[in-house]
Amino acid sequence: MSEIPGAWFHCCHCGKLFKAPADPDTRGPCAECGHDPVTGAELQADSDTSARVLRRVRKHGESSHHHQHKAKRSRHARKKARVLMYFVAAWVALVAFAAIFLKRGSTAAPTPAPDYVEKSDAPSIDDLQFLQDHMEECSDRVVAFLNSTDAAGRAQQVLRAEQLIPRMTRYYELNPALPVQENLSLPYQGMIKTSAGPAIESIWRRGNGELLEAVFFEEKGEWKIDWDAMVRYSSEPWALFLAAQGPGEGEFRLLARERVGAGGHNDESIGLVLYRQRPGFPGETLNPSPEVRVVRASALGRAIEDAFKARQEKVAPFGSKAFENDPDGMIRLRVKMSRSGDETRVFKIEELLATHWLDLPSTPIKAGE
């Protein structure tokens, strides 16, 4: 083997065996760990430390810059999120407001008056019990009324008899025919809830097919007949009033239809034709009036329009169902009317007392209100 200058060293720091010049100034550090192989002292400490510190500073600087940039981006993202949130909230509020506004606009059409109550085809258990408790007494009233031969006997079966006797006497002088008890049947009975309390409405059929509608109210513990509603009482005979015979004013219970054909419809006013209902045959009418105009925008016109709307929807005041026998499209009115002119007679509704025929307290709606 050839002689190689230098000496073998065993690093006392890491244990590495290596060959290097013997001179300490020239042998250099251990090639493995960088320490003096004899003393184990670390060489180039300052430079290594500086390098490590520099690496740490650079790493810290890079990390700090990274975190600062990341925090800046996070703040910017949160700001954008808040702006987006406010925009979405404002948009939702605007949509909700528009929906409410449109809903209000869609329901601006006239609505039925409070008396117009929908009536279920199937009566409740309470209604059935109510009818069972009181219908027998009501039936006895009808039989006794039909079998009576004078006003005094009939007055015992009706409401407010003391006030009615003069009117009943006059009425039967003009209308002597009176349905009698003959094969009497009861095709309909029902409970209605009126402003004066619960009542019973009923329809009776005679053997000849005639129908008699009777409504009963409780008076001093007894159930009695609303006579005004049963006979469709009017202060004057309707046919004579139309013929200009007798007083020029009167109170009437009539059927009404709106005249819409042949140019009858008008956006400014309602054209009404008024009729008397044929006794015993509620689906037939008698004595039509000339056209009677009512301003649509008036309180009276709005109430009549509400009554026609309710009729189309098959509802009636107090949930009554007796109106179903009336002619299609006609409504019941209780009105005060006037007549003026001789050659050309003009008829006017001065007051609307009710959109039903029951003898109940009411607040009149006057023409022009």
pLDDT reading at 199 higher than 60: yes
Whether residue 26 lies inside any domain: the answer is: no
Give the pLDDT confidence score for residue 45 in this predicted structure: 39
Residue of 368 and 254 predicted with greater confidence = 254
**What is the C-alpha to C-alpha distance for residues 176 and 171, in angstroms, rounded to an integer?**
8
Question: Are 276 and 351 within 8 A, CB to CB?
Answer: no
Nearest alpha-carbon partner for 254 in 223, 277, 288: 277
Domain boundary among 214, 231, 248: 231
Domain boundary among 231, 263, 282: 231
Domain boundary among 172, 202, 231: 231
If asked whether residues 272 and 335 sit together in one domain, one would say yes
Residue 342 — φ and ψ, nearest 5°? -110, -70
Question: Are 207 and 190 within 8 A, CB to CB?
Answer: no
If asked whether residues 155 and 185 sit together in one domain, one would say yes
Whether residue 145 lies inside any domain: the answer is: yes
Containing H/E element for 63? helix 45-106
Give the pLDDT confidence score for residue 264 in this predicted structure: 56
If asked whether residues 307 and 329 sit together in one domain, one would say yes
Whether residue 19 lies inside any domain: the answer is: no
If asked whether residues 227 and 242 sit together in one domain, one would say no
Nearest alpha-carbon partner for 323 in 253, 269, 241, 271: 253
Q: How far is CA 17 from CA 11, 14, 28, 131, in A?
A: 6, 9, 14, 122
Whether residue 163 lies inside any domain: the answer is: yes
If asked whether residues 209 and 259 sit together in one domain, one would say no
Containing H/E element for 185? strand 185-194
Whether residue 335 lies inside any domain: the answer is: yes
Lowest-pLDDT range, 18-22, 246-250, 264-268?
A: 18-22
If asked whether residues 218 and 243 sit together in one domain, one would say no
pLDDT reading at 320 higher than 50: yes
Instruction: Give me the mean pLDDT over the 56-70 stretch.
Output: 44
What CATH number does the domain containing 220 carry? 3.10.450
- Containing domain of residue 249, as a range? 238-366
Model confidence band, residue 101 (pLDDT cutoffs 50, 70, 90): very low
**What is the C-alpha to C-alpha distance for residues 204 and 142, in angstroms, rounded to an integer?**
9
If asked whether residues 243 and 361 sit together in one domain, one would say yes
If asked whether residues 293 and 186 sit together in one domain, one would say no
Whether residue 87 lies inside any domain: the answer is: no
Whether residue 355 lies inside any domain: the answer is: yes
Model confidence band, residue 74 (pLDDT cutoffs 50, 70, 90): low
pLDDT reading at 179 higher than 70: no
When the pLDDT of each residue in the chain is averaged and rounded to a whole number, the result is 79
If asked whether residues 359 and 251 sit together in one domain, one would say yes
If asked whether residues 158 and 174 sit together in one domain, one would say yes
- Following DSSP, what letter does each residue of 295-322 receive, concatenated? ETTSHHHHHHHHHHHHHHTT-EETT--G
Model confidence band, residue 56 (pLDDT cutoffs 50, 70, 90): very low
**What is the C-alpha to C-alpha distance for residues 303 and 362, in angstroms, rounded to an integer?**
13
Give the pLDDT confidence score for residue 200 in this predicted structure: 97
If asked whether residues 300 and 213 sit together in one domain, one would say no
pLDDT digits (tens, 9 = 90+) for 126-167: 889 999 999 999 999 999 998 888 888 899 999 999 999 899
Whether residue 4 lies inside any domain: the answer is: no
pLDDT reading at 224 higher than 70: yes
Total of domains in the chain: 2
Give the pLDDT confidence score for residue 337 in this predicted structure: 97
If asked whether residues 134 and 245 sit together in one domain, one would say no
Q: How many CA atoms lie within 13 A of 38 on its CB side?
A: 11
